[in-house]
């Protein structure tokens, strides 16, 4: 016998009381709670999920760092060859085999989203060398310390140095490379591109650093001696880079920012650069950085992850655990559900009682190549019916969904069924109680 009609949903008040409501998602004004009801399609029993997530305001940037110029380097730590030159922060001078960095002294909140804008200029390239105008600079987020510095040459002051210029590199870091020399042996697409790189733990940090994405050859010449403006926007889990006011990003990709952030979601932010056999001045002229809050189906993560990062699968942009994790917690369970496991977690429920999910958080991508919420989301999904080919066609793509049958309640990301499901990335973490 059915315990609820198929056209009913649920709502939850602040105390967590469940009552029948419309199956539409509801976002109450002035209440940081988002509620979704999900049910298994073509089955009589309805299964309910209540999401308690932080509501995100619309398109605001809170500037935490602001330098109109660098006449003063107060609150900055300069490392290696970095120095102030007039009102410019010169990361390296136009000399061979140099590396430098500078960091804002206080850690910044990065995991829940940020926006940074800076003006840069690359000048005084060497004229008579095969390696003219090397090697470029990087905007970096890292959790190694305010004195961090990587290798010279193609390492751009971020990565592990090669055999020519050995250096330990900067572990636990994410970098946006502005690369001006093509190292074919490292897979560089050109001598004029922007790339997104990542270094893991010290034991995982290698040369060259892990590549997440590269732009095609840019229409703007990075080392033309002109002043250029870059804007980097992180709307979890998508990192986008804009150049000289471009309407569309020149490169974007999903990024697991927990690589670079501490448990509070903070990291040191700053810039690195390097020269090798060739050289140029790498100058930053101005810089602002702040938290951004963007209305989106992407949600902040303050994770209670139960597994070490070594459990993350290799060659994934988002941390994707190799297996699910279940821990009994009070009257229920605490669960980590990898995005690539179709109906990857089940708990006993012989009486087919309602299962209530709370504290759901995390990011998944079921189509990392798609733009924003069309390919990635938080536990409530992207807000649109997924359609044919997904596990639950009428529920949002990417949503955390639930079904109860054969004495068990199971959980899954609402992704495309079949072999493509194994390509999903990320995980959801949540608590569940059988009522």
Q: Write the CATH number for 288.
A: 2.60.120.200
d(CA 77, CA 85): 15
The answer as to whether 273 is a domain residue is yes
Q: For all residues of the chain together, what is the average pLDDT?
A: 80
Least trusted range by pLDDT, from 6-15, 33-42, 187-196, 248-257: 6-15
Domain that holds residue 239: 60-293
Q: What is the pTM (predicted TM-score) of this model?
A: 0.73
Q: Looking at the structure, do residues 88 and 207 belong to the same domain, yes or no?
A: yes
Contacts of 126 (CB under 8 A, 6+ apart): 94, 96, 132, 133, 278, 279, 280
Answer whether residue 365 shows pLDDT above 70: yes
Show which of 257, 272, 293 is a domain's final residue: 293
The answer as to whether 4 is a domain residue is no
The model's confidence at residue 164, banded by pLDDT at 50, 70 and 90, is: low
Q: Looking at the structure, do residues 117 and 266 belong to the same domain, yes or no?
A: yes
Contacts of 116 (CB under 8 A, 6+ apart): 65, 139, 231, 232, 269, 287, 288, 289, 290
Give buried/exposed letters for 6-18 (b at 16+ CB in 10 A, else e). eeebbbbeeeeeb
Q: Is the peptide bond before 135 cis (omega within 30 degrees of 0)?
A: yes
The answer as to whether 330 is a domain residue is yes
Q: Looking at the structure, do residues 286 and 362 belong to the same domain, yes or no?
A: no
Answer whether residue 43 shows pLDDT above 60: no
The answer as to whether 3 is a domain residue is no
The answer as to whether 70 is a domain residue is yes
Domain total in the chain:
2
Show which of 243, 263, 293 is a domain's final residue: 293
d(CA 376, CA 257): 15
Answer whether residue 259 shows pLDDT above 70: yes
Answer whether residue 358 shows pLDDT above 60: yes
Q: Looking at the structure, do residues 284 and 365 belong to the same domain, yes or no?
A: no
Using alpha carbons only, give the angle 270, 76, 81 rounded to the nearest 5 degrees: 75
d(CA 48, CA 6): 11
Show which of 230, 262, 293 is a domain's final residue: 293
Least trusted range by pLDDT, from 141-145, 181-185, 259-263: 181-185
Q: Looking at the structure, do residues 257 and 123 belong to the same domain, yes or no?
A: yes
At 203 the pLDDT is 59
């Amino acid at each position: 016998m059915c315990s609820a009609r198929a056209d009913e949903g649920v709502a939850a008040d602040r105390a967590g009381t469940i009552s029948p409501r419309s199956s539409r998602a509801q976002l109450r004004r002035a209440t940081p709670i988002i509620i979704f009801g999900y049910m298994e399609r073509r089955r009589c029993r309805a299964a309910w999920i209540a999401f308690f997530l932080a509501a995100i305001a619309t398109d605001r940037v809170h500037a935490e760092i602001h330098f109109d110029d660098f006449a003063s380097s107060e609150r900055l730590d300069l490392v290696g060859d970095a120095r102030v030159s007039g009102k410019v922060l010169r990361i390296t001078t136009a000399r061979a085999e140099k590396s430098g960095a500078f960091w804002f002294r206080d850690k910044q909140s990065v995991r829940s989203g940020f926006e940074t804008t800076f003006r840069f200029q690359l000048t005084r390239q060497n004229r008579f060398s095969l390696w003219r105008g090397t090697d470029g600079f990087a905007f970096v987020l890292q959790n190694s310390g305010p004195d961090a510095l990587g290798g010279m040459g193609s390492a751009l002051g971020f990565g592990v140095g090669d055999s020519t210029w050995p250096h330990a590199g900067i572990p636990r870091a994410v970098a946006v490379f502005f690369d001006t020399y093509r190292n074919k042996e490292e897979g560089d697409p050109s001598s004029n591109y922007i790339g997104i790189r990542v270094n893991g733990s010290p034991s995982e940090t290698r040369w060259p650093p892990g590549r997440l994405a590269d732009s095609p050859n840019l229409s703007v010449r990075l080392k033309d001696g002109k002043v250029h403006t870059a804007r980097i926007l992180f709307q979890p889990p998508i990192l986008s880079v804009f150049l000289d006011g471009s309407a569309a990003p020149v490169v974007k990709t999903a990024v697991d920012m927990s690589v670079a952030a501490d448990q509070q979601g903070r990291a040191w932010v700053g810039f690195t650069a390097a020269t090798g056999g060739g050289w140029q001045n790498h100058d930053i002229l101005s810089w602002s950085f702040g938290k951004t809050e963007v209305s989106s189906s992407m949600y902040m993560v303050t994770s209670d992850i139960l597994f070490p990062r070594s459990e993350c699968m290799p060659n994934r942009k988002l941390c994707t655990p190799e297996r699910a994790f279940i821990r009994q917690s009070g009257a229920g369970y605490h669960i980590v559900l990898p995005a690539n496991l179709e109906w990857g977690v089940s708990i006993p429920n012989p009486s087919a009682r309602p299962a209530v999910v709370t504290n759901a958080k995390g990011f998944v991508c079921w189509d990392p190549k798609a733009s924003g919420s069309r390919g990635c989301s938080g536990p409530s999904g992207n807000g649109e019916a997924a359609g044919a080919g997904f596990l639950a066609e009428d529920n949002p793509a990417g949503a955390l969904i639930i079904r109860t049958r054969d004495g068990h309640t199971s959980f899954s990301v609402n992704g495309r069924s079949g072999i493509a499901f194994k390509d999903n990335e990320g995980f959801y973490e949540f608590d569940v109680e059988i009522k």
